[in-house]
Structure 1
Amino acid sequence: MASEKKEVAPEVTKVIEAIAALSEIEDDAACTSAVSEILRRWPDLGSELRQLREKRVNNLRAGKRTWSEIADIIGDVTPERAQQISKGLSGAQRKKNKEAAERAAAEKAGK
């Protein structure tokens, strides 16, 4: 059974190629500077990407897509994770919520 290869958007390819191009910068100082600038901006860029994905996931849901269909579109996530993405819950936020719930349960059990 041959596995289907998912088509990659040209924008994704461009980002991957841009990152690969960094390693082709011959001057170590110039490469270090360029990579450092990207890493400084990454928290904001990552946040923008997460917000864009959240908005588009919600658009898909409003268009009557199921959580399973949306999970397949995202790739490598469960339908439950697709729902979490629609609510803007990052991995860090899910971990904080889980830890808070565990603390609350421990406090309740200790009373």
Structure 2
Amino acid sequence: MDESEIESELLELTPIGADGQSAILNLDKTYGTDSFLFKGPARFEKNEWKTLGINDGMDIGSRGAPFFFSYKLGSHMSEYIILPTVVSATWIFDEEGKLAEIRVIKTVDGL
């Protein structure tokens, strides 16, 4: 699947406007709690969302500050490169704690 197809499936699971706590519950149920990678603050700047680094101590249940979290969705062997490709996604939430954007990332795990 390409990134847009994965994103479409994730939007069914966690629709835009969903709150962070319900998104985490759905993702933990679907991918398992071990798939959670990290979380941190976010900011809307120059018409796009930016993640501002990892802060695993951050309380994402509180309102007032945008935040993000990421999950590993799975891995597979690439058709073209003989190295595993890791698929993860990042969910970005606005200052009201509502889902604003999902980003799917594919990373080739190699040297």
Larger radius of gyration between Structure 1 and Structure 2: 1
Q: Which has the higher contact order (CA 8 A, sep 6+)?
A: 2
Say whether the fold is shared (TM-score over 0.5): no
With the length of structure 2 as denominator, give the TM-score of the two structures: 0.28
Q: Which has the higher helix share?
A: 1
The structure richer in strand per residue is 2
